[in-house]
Amino acid sequence: MSPRGARPSSSASDERAATLSQVAHEAGVSLATASRAINGSPDRVVGEDLRRRVLEAAARLDYSPDANAQAMARGRTATIGLIVHDIADPYFSTIAAGVSAAADEEHLAVTLANTQHDPARELAFVRTLQQQRARAIILAGGRQDDARANEALQAALAGYQHRGGTVALIGQPVLGVSTVRADNGRGAAALANALLDLGYRRFGILSGPDRHLTARERLEGFIGALDAAGVTPDAVVASAFTRDGGHGALAELRERAPEAEVVWAVNDVMALGAMTAAREAGLSVPDDLAFAGFDDISTLRDVAPPLTTVHLPLEEMGRLATPLALDVDGGVREVTVSGEVVVRASTPRR
Amino acid sequence: MSPRGARPSSSASDERAATLSQVAHEAGVSLATASRAINGSPDRVVGEDLRRRVLEAAARLDYSPDANAQAMARGRTATIGLIVHDIADPYFSTIAAGVSAAADEEHLAVTLANTQHDPARELAFVRTLQQQRARAIILAGGRQDDARANEALQAALAGYQHRGGTVALIGQPVLGVSTVRADNGRGAAALANALLDLGYRRFGILSGPDRHLTARERLEGFIGALDAAGVTPDAVVASAFTRDGGHGALAELRERAPEAEVVWAVNDVMALGAMTAAREAGLSVPDDLAFAGFDDISTLRDVAPPLTTVHLPLEEMGRLATPLALDVDGGVREVTVSGEVVVRASTPRR
DNA sequence: CTGTTAGCGCGTTCAC
DNA sequence: GTGAACGCGCTAACAG
């Protein structure tokens, strides 16, 4: 193996990185001075000359501070944990992009945890992040109305917070921590009204799991608005909150609501899956059946016909969650973003 | 604030977590014994009785090992870094899901770095991950043929490796490290032949940036196959390797290749963007113009008409990269996955 | 402004 | 088997 890469000008180049004390030695100053020069604490009080000497020595040795040692000495890390249900889902990957961008600005590293929709894994990740002493945890994704799971999670988060960690949620504030939430009910109601305005009267609804709070909020908002207009949906079919959930549930919906003019799914991926299923069944969209969703994931830009939905600023939500999560002053805050109805060609006027 | 969460049975419950030595004290054993009992080093030589006492004490104190301290003492972390161009792009988020799953199995945490297509940021992340002493780094995304940027990156990676870090790429092996690569040339050629078989003779091509190696490999494979059949593309238009790149470049392609029967873009997101642009221009897909892509991102499941493409096992590629990245024995290995042509309705027989 | 000295929490030699 | 002591690399008092 020929030696490659950086080559310190002096002495032996070990397998391991140069340490601060080596830098200090090389610069002929004390450890403390080297530390101050390189880090420049709030009190940037190192003589310009020494400071320069240290920096040069560091460059010469290709010094790279050890974040673990710093974390240890400082008592806190520069890491933020992000827990999502499924990073491959555009909903979450967009949120992740937002969190990542915001974390970047704060010079924080992001540890990604992908639960694959498994509450047990979610719990395990909270513990792992606690071990890493992550400064904050952001939990993205709607909660379920599952007392046991929520209690376990809440206990784990409480333990984490008890030790100085801070937490934010993107979803529902059921856990007593700061939360970025979407005004699901209002958004869904607005969408329902928009569809009514367009002339739709026969609705088939693909709801998520009964206990999924986001699904429930949206469903209630939507049905409430229909109700106010004296309209009752032909059928409401529950399924998983995923693309495949929507895809698989369409057949039942058609059976139970053969007269439906429009199918509304509680999120976009479900709507897309259902739309595909409709096509597979030989239907034409939107002529035979119209479709609408919720979220406005970026994927929709290239879907035909363009899907009517409720726009949520997903990346922004990820961004917003970051300062909330980092907020140490213990206040439980709540930020609500509102959804905006976007009518597109998947729901033409009737 | 009412105290909530875990409550140690004994003494005061500090703001900070219980330490191993507290556990040792609580259990009436030495620090060393506690360490061995909880960790069970290769030499699991702690009496069953003591072991039990320690574990109980740990549970009572709600002990949570400090990963930073462990990393420090052990000399290595349990973290793997993942650098991607854009986590919101389905191509990368799917790879990320694969990496995440594989890392999970190895009990490694994943630090996510999102470069937003900026080489400078990429470099910065390599440094950050080095500071974190991440055990390995996975760089996903095709390289550019940019000597300066590549050299800088290569130097940074070499420094990282010099200090014991290991690296793997998902893309091209231009950096002298282990790589998971797709057989882009062969896949593209197979696609070209499939399109020829379907009766297409007039091709409009949306290539990526000239210096983008993945784009180039695919382009060359495709054109080579056309060539062998005595066919020359009507036009090749370069653009960004993104959805918007494809979307924006379609107009020029139509201008330069008005007779084209099919548009092939070097990746799916570009093809989708272009397809949308075609529709916006009033064309019907695939009747007026057929489309094909490359990658088979999951998004395609719900696109209409279904897009013909070359399937790449993206999640699997992320999975495969993980052991490669972790491989300490210094061998530069290369794994090639092959793409499989998938003909769908976006390219009907002519 | 700069240097000395304690730790941070844990793994790991060494002795016993 | 178990315990005592050292060190990982760095920051943060505390002195000068």
- For residue A344, tell me if it sits in a domain: no
pLDDT band at A15 (very low <50, low <70, confident <90, very high): low
Query: Cα–Cα distances in Å, from B169 out to B124, B136, B308, B311?
Result: 17, 11, 27, 20
**CA→C1' distance for A47 and D5 (Å):** 38
* Identity at B216, one-letter amino acid code: R
| Residue B197 and residue B159 share a domain | no
Read off φ and ψ for residue A307, nearest 5 degrees. Answer: -85, 130
Token pair belonging to A68: 């673990």
Q: Is the pLDDT of residue A307 over 50?
A: yes
For residue B242, which of B85, B82, B115, B83 has the smallest C-alpha distance?
Answer: B85
The mean pLDDT value of chain A amounts to 92
Q: Is the pLDDT of residue B307 over 60?
A: yes
Token pair belonging to B240: 């960004």
| Residue A262 and residue A189 share a domain | yes
Sequence-distant contacts of B120-124: CB under 8 A, at least 24 apart: B122/B83, B122/B153, B123/B152, B123/B153, B123/B156
- For residue B88, tell me if it sits in a domain: yes
| Residue B290 and residue B172 share a domain | no
Nucleotides of D under 7 A from a protein CB: 1-5, 7-13
Q: Which has the minimum average pLDDT: A327-341, B175-189, B207-221? A: A327-341
The label of the residue with tokens 């949306």 reads B206
Cβ pair B64:A163 closer than 8 A: yes
**CA→C1' distance for B32 and C15 (Å):** 14
For B2, the closest chain A residue by CA position comes to A162
Cβ pair A16:B163 closer than 8 A: yes
CA distance B300 to A303: 9
CA distance B292 to A187: 36
For residue B9, which of B29, B23, B30 has the smallest C-alpha distance?
Answer: B23
| Residue A258 and residue A173 share a domain | no
Asked which of B51, B73, B95 is the last residue of a domain, the reply is B73
The string of pLDDT tens digits covering residues A249-294 is 999 999 999 999 999 999 999 999 999 999 999 999 999 999 999 9
Q: Is the pLDDT of residue B14 over 50?
A: no
| Residue B267 and residue B215 share a domain | yes
Burial B174-186 (b: 16+ CB within 10 A, else e): bbebbbbbbbbbb
| Chain A (259-288) residues lying within 8 Å, Cβ to Cβ, of chain B | 272-273, 275-276, 279, 285
Q: Is the pLDDT of residue A111 over 50?
A: yes
The string of pLDDT tens digits covering residues B227-260 is 999 999 999 999 999 999 999 999 999 999 999 9
The string of pLDDT tens digits covering residues B40-57 is 766 667 888 889 999 999
Q: Is the pLDDT of residue B5 over 50?
A: no
- For residue A178, tell me if it sits in a domain: yes
Mean predicted confidence (pLDDT) in A147-161: 92
Q: What is the predicted pLDDT for the residue at A14?
A: 42
Cβ pair A162:B13 closer than 8 A: yes
Q: Measured from the CB, is B59 under 7 Å from any atom of strand C? A: no
Q: Is the pLDDT of residue A210 over 60?
A: yes
- For residue A293, tell me if it sits in a domain: yes
| Residue A167 and residue A68 share a domain | no
CA distance A57 to A26: 6
First vs last Cα of chain A: how many Å apart? 73
List all residues 6 or more positions away from A161 whose beta carbon is below 8 Å from its beta carbon: A167, A177, B5
- For residue B52, tell me if it sits in a domain: yes
Find chain A residues with C-beta within 8 A of B279's C-beta: 304
For residue B195, which of B168, B175, B221, B165 has the smallest C-alpha distance?
Answer: B221
For residue A143, which of A215, A193, A80 has the smallest C-alpha distance?
Answer: A215
- For residue B346, tell me if it sits in a domain: no
Q: Are A66 and B127 in contact (CB under 8 A)?
A: no
| Residue B323 and residue B305 share a domain | no
Cβ pair A88:B315 closer than 8 A: yes
| Residue B31 and residue B137 share a domain | no
Cβ pair A111:B110 closer than 8 A: yes
* CA dihedral of A6, A8, A13, A15, whole degrees rounded to 10: -40
| Residue B220 and residue B178 share a domain | no
Domain with A31 in it: what CATH number?
Answer: 1.10.260.40
CA distance A142 to A83: 12
| Residue A94 and residue A47 share a domain | no
Tell me the sheet residues that pair with B311: B295, B340
Domain with B262 in it: what CATH number?
Answer: 3.40.50.2300
Mean predicted confidence (pLDDT) in B257-272: 98
The label of the residue with tokens 């895809």 reads A247
pLDDT band at A142 (very low <50, low <70, confident <90, very high): confident
Q: Measured from the CB, is B77 under 7 Å from any atom of strand C? A: no
CA distance A261 to A264: 10
Name which residue leads in pLDDT, A44 or B303: B303
The rounded percent of chain B whose pLDDT value lies above 90 is: 86
Tell me the sheet residues that pair with B174: none
What does the angle CA B198 – CA B231 – CA B275 come to, to the nearest 5 degrees?
55
Out of A13, A71, A163, the one facing B17 most closely (by C-beta) is: A163
Q: Which domain holds residue A42?
A: 12-73
Q: Measured from the CB, is B74 under 7 Å from any atom of strand C? A: yes
Q: Are A229 and A256 in contact (CB under 8 A)?
A: no
The string of pLDDT tens digits covering residues B147-199 is 898 899 999 999 999 999 999 999 988 778 999 999 999 999 999 999 999 99
pLDDT band at B15 (very low <50, low <70, confident <90, very high): low
- For residue A36, tell me if it sits in a domain: yes
Residue A342: which H helix or E strand, with range? Answer: strand A340-342
* Integer-rounded Cα radius of gyration of chain B: 26
pTM (2 decimals)?
A: 0.94
CA distance B151 to A305: 46
Token pair belonging to B273: 């963007």
Q: Is the pLDDT of residue A298 over 70?
A: yes
| Residue B224 and residue B158 share a domain | no
For residue A65, which of A25, A73, B80 has the smallest C-alpha distance?
Answer: A73
Number of domains making up chain A: 3
CA–CA min distance A230, chain B (Å): 34
CA distance B175 to A319: 34
Q: Is A24 on the interface with B (CB under 8 A)?
A: no
| Residue B263 and residue B145 share a domain | no
Cβ pair A67:B100 closer than 8 A: no
Q: Measured from the CB, is B31 under 7 Å from any atom of strand C? A: yes
CA distance B104 to B82: 13
The rounded percent of chain A whose pLDDT value lies above 90 is: 87
Token pair belonging to B264: 């092939």
- For residue A116, tell me if it sits in a domain: yes
